Amino acid sequence: MNQKDLKRYKKMLEDSKTALLESAKKTLVEESSFDTDDLPDEIDQASSEYAQSMVFRLRDREKFLLQKIEKALQRIEDGTFGICERCEEDISPKRLEARPVTTLCIRCKEEQEKKERSYG
């Protein structure tokens, strides 16, 4: 992979990382100002707690994605970005555009999903 493509993927990953961190900061500020005493009844409180639970679940997913972004950035630095972990073939540019954090080429990913479905 050439340096121009690597820089583009690195920028994509860094932009995603920045957006995730900004979103997390915003949520932290909003959630830290939340007070259950401000809610007039139990139904409002239950609804609010459910919404808060959903936000925390989303944050867990974002945390996992952030870890994947960090690993992808590290692969760019060590020269293994865009190489499938399983078969060691190049991952197609289309796949990297759609999912820059990927570690598997489309063929290996499909095989993995097929195995997961057979166990699932």
Residue 69 burial (10 A CB sphere; 0-12, 13-18, 19+): buried
Tens of pLDDT along 19-31? 999 887 887 666 6
**Residues near 106 by Cβ (< 8 Å), separated by ≥ 6?**
91, 92, 95
Tens of pLDDT along 39-71? 567 766 677 676 667 677 778 888 999 999 999
Q: Say if 86 falls within a structural domain.
A: yes
Q: Say if 38 falls within a structural domain.
A: no
> What distance in Å separates the CA atoms of residue 45 and residue 55, rounded to the nearest whole number?
15
For the chain, the average pLDDT equals 86
| Total number of domains in the chain | 1
Q: Say if 52 falls within a structural domain.
A: yes
In sequence order, what DSSP letters do the residues of 28-82 get, joined into one string?
Answer: HHHHHT--GGG-SSHHHHHHHHHHHHHHHHHHHHHHHHHHHHHHHHHHHHHT-TT
Q: Say if 34 falls within a structural domain.
A: no
Q: Say if 108 falls within a structural domain.
A: yes
**What is the residue range of 7's domain?**
3-27+45-119
pLDDT for 1: 85
The domain that contains 110 carries what CATH number? 1.20.120.910
pLDDT for 26: 80
